[in-house]
Structure 1
Amino acid sequence: MRVGFLMFDDLEELDMVGPWEVWTMAGHLKPEIECVTIGPTDAPVRCAKGMRVCPDHTMEACPPLDVLVVPGGQGTRREVNNAELLAWIAKAAQGCTWVTSVCTGSMLLAAAGPARGKRITTHWRAVDLVRGRGEAAEVLDDVRYVRDGNVVSSAGVSAGIDMALWLIGEIWEPAFARQVQRNMEYDPAPPHQGAV
């Protein structure tokens, strides 16, 4: 199983790295899982907070994927008008069993076609932006992730971790997803919650 992480400048780091950690941790337990990064070129991608990541493949040379992960971030505002990137998403998604997004990555999935006319979600601050485009059937707020067919979109940043764990439980079984979660020591109980 090959999981591909699309990258572009100004993507939100945890939108990609959160699901990457889930999938690569799963890969330690199931070696048939391969994770790859995909960029427009072979140049490093500069993320929103300055982290630089080198792609394993260019979009042009990317092998077939089983799962596509499209992150969000400020870069999506530019990339939603990038016809080449949208065409690549549409083509890559055709061969995927699952097509996923984090944050405003769902806006790219809707613009490219895989999430057009479907129920999706995004970061709470971007709900109106994504709704305003009118490409999704519904943009849900106050949910961590939502599935519509083979498209699974998640809210912002850390929600991508939850979405990836849920999907691993769907593909294999919840017990395996719990094992991955334990290996990550992911226990979502944020400090200072009582002050909210």
Structure 2
Amino acid sequence: MSTIGILLFDGVEELDVVGPWEVFTASSALLERAGAVRCRKGMRVLTDFSFTDHPPLDVLVVPGGDGVLLGVQDPALLRWLAEVGARARWVVSVCTGALLLHASGLGKGRRLATHWAFEDRLAELGAEVVRDARWVRDGNVVSSQGVSAGIDVALWLVGQLHSPAHARATQRYIQYDPAPPYADG
């Protein structure tokens, strides 16, 4: 069984967390600090672990959200990401979490995907941005463009951790079959 941690911080995008969490229902939440965290749109999440007491992680999930803009300026957070990410089997970012990967050094020299509105900004920071893929894998680093792409990545990762058949069963169980009503507009 893999230990999966999801980084939480004030201002995190709810669906960047909850989408993959729905896929990783057995995962443990990895948090900036123990206690309640207020997400971007007001949802509050009670954390299980802090930076100092979490178990070793096989998978580190780094979500996006407005809080990323403060996070990229937080040396303690970036140092923690670099240390924990270096030991993780997989490092995954959702949406603007790619900015944290880049700032921590985990994404340097790697191809990264992020939300379309932040692709230019990430490129200006020196990252190699992939603009035409919902998600991209570069070694053990996997990054995705936005909230629904984060679910795609989580399902792919379940297939890597267990099997493609198990990932398909998980996809069926959560009835994940995207069919946006305005896809051709």
Q: Does 1:91 align with 2:83?
A: yes
Runs (4+) off by over 4 Å? none
How many Å apart are 1:182 and its aligned residue?
A: 0.1
Distance in 2 separating the partners of 1:40 and 1:168 = 24
1:179 paired with 2:179, answer no
Give the share of equivalent positions with the same residue, in percent: 53
Q: 1:37 is paired with a residue of what secondary structure?
A: strand
Contact 1:119 1:139 in 2 (8 A): yes
1:63 deviation in Å? 1.2
**2:107 is the counterpart of 1:115:** yes
Which residue of structure 1 aligns with residue 14 of structure 2? 13
Equivalence for 1:153 = 143
CA contact (8 A) 1:124 1:142 kept: no
Post-superposition offset of 1:171:
2.5
> Could you tell me which amino acid in structure 1 is paired with residue 11 of structure 2?
D
SS at match of 1:181: helix
Which deviates the most, 164-173 or 149-158?
164-173
**TM-score for the superposition, normalised by structure 1:** 0.90
Deviation at 1:114, TM superposition (A): 1.4
SS of the aligned residue for 1:146 comes to: strand
Q: TM-score, normalised by structure 2?
A: 0.96
- Offset at residue 173 of structure 1 (A): 2.2
Structure 2 Cα separation of the partners of residues 192 and 92 of structure 1: 40
Return 5+ residue gaps in structure 1 as ranges: 25-33
Choose from 24, 33, 37 the match for 1:45: 37
Aligned residues: 184
Unaligned 5+ runs, structure 2: none
Q: Give 1:142 shift.
A: 2.6
Give the whole-Å Cα distance in 1 for the aligned partners of 2:165 and 2:5.
24
